[in-house]
Amino acid sequence: MPKESREIIITLIAGTSTLLLLGALMISFLFLYRNRHRKLLREREQLKLSYERELLKSQLEIQEQTFRHISQEIHDNIGQMLSLAKLNLSTMDPSLPDNLEQKIIDSKKLVGQAIYDLRNLSHGLSTDYIADMGLVRAIEHELEMVRKSGNYETLFESEGKSYPLDKQRELIIYRILQETVNNIIKHAASQKIIIHLHYSQEELTLSITDNGKGFDLTPLNQDASFGLGIRNMYNRAQLMGAGFKISSTLGHGTSVVLSVPVEAANTRT
């Protein structure tokens, strides 16, 4: 084969191979990119699904808590008042006018108070009451119910100009607060609950502090079955892009801090 012909063939082979390789790389890149992108979208979809699942769970838990509170309120408070009113009415003696008048006044007061408490309770029956009254008012309402039990001193402070977050996020924040307060009531043996809400341009910070007996956080990192409620709160915070921090000192109480970035709070769906 002449030298010139050989050189042409080598050029032809090199050129064709390079171009075909380029084509193969292009197609491979296309496959790779699409696969990665699809995987990313699937993951995002999954995250959205689990967020929605958690949201639904939170709604159900809030509802459950509300019903528990209502049943307790009816049994301990309204029921007692109405029973007392009934007792007053059944023990009325027309032959004792002074006593009769007092009993009527007392019964009216009791029935009036029962009506007032029932009206208050009915507000809490609406599943959208957090959205309706806003986060600050919902927290105040929650604390009011705790205070009414007579076992706790409560303090609520809101700092900075409050702004609404989207409904779903407010619901999750409220549920985390409710769960934390429940934990304090069940385990902390404290007398005081302090809630601090801080609205800043960057984030919304909610801190819940008690002066109870505190607990050792070490098992949280070792035993997966320990502190399921806390893990649940942590997961929920993560799903809305928020930070969740818990600190506790034995004998000095516990503090839970939830930090929700404003950007995440307003842009996530």
Which residues lie near other proteins (CB under 8 A)? 1, 5, 8-9, 11-12, 15-16, 19-20, 22-23, 26-27, 30-31, 33-34, 37-38, 41
Distance CA 30, CA 26 (A): 6
By beta-carbon proximity to other proteins, the closer residue of 11 and 235 is 11
By beta-carbon proximity to other proteins, the closer residue of 9 and 155 is 9
By beta-carbon proximity to other proteins, the closer residue of 27 and 189 is 27
By beta-carbon proximity to other proteins, the closer residue of 9 and 87 is 9
Q: How far is the CB of 14 from other proteins (least distance, A)?
A: 8
By beta-carbon proximity to other proteins, the closer residue of 16 and 99 is 16
Q: CA dihedral in degrees (169, 171, 176, 177; nearest 10)?
A: 120
Q: How far is the CB of 24 from other proteins (least distance, A)?
A: 8
Q: Evaluate whether 96 touches 144 at the Cβ level (below 8 Å).
A: no
By beta-carbon proximity to other proteins, the closer residue of 11 and 122 is 11
Q: How far is the CB of 258 from other proteins (least distance, A)?
A: 35
Query: How many C-alpha atoms does 233 have within 13 Å on its Cβ side?
Result: 22
Q: How far is the CB of 241 from other proteins (least distance, A)?
A: 24
Q: How far is the CB of 48 from other proteins (least distance, A)?
A: 15
Q: How far is the CB of 13 from other proteins (least distance, A)?
A: 8
Distance CA 12, CA 18 (A): 10
- Residues in contact with 236: Cβ distance below 8 Å, sequence separation at least 6, in sequence order: 54, 58, 172, 175, 176
Return the SS3 of 245. Answer: strand
**Which residue matches tokens 């080598």?**
10
- Residues in contact with 9: Cβ distance below 8 Å, sequence separation at least 6, in sequence order: 1
Two tokens, residue 244: 């969740």
Q: Evaluate whether 167 touches 179 at the Cβ level (below 8 Å).
A: no
By beta-carbon proximity to other proteins, the closer residue of 16 and 83 is 16
Q: How far is CA 179 from CA 12, 37, 127, 159, 182, in A?
A: 74, 37, 17, 22, 5
Q: CA dihedral in degrees (170, 68, 225, 188; nearest 10)?
A: 90
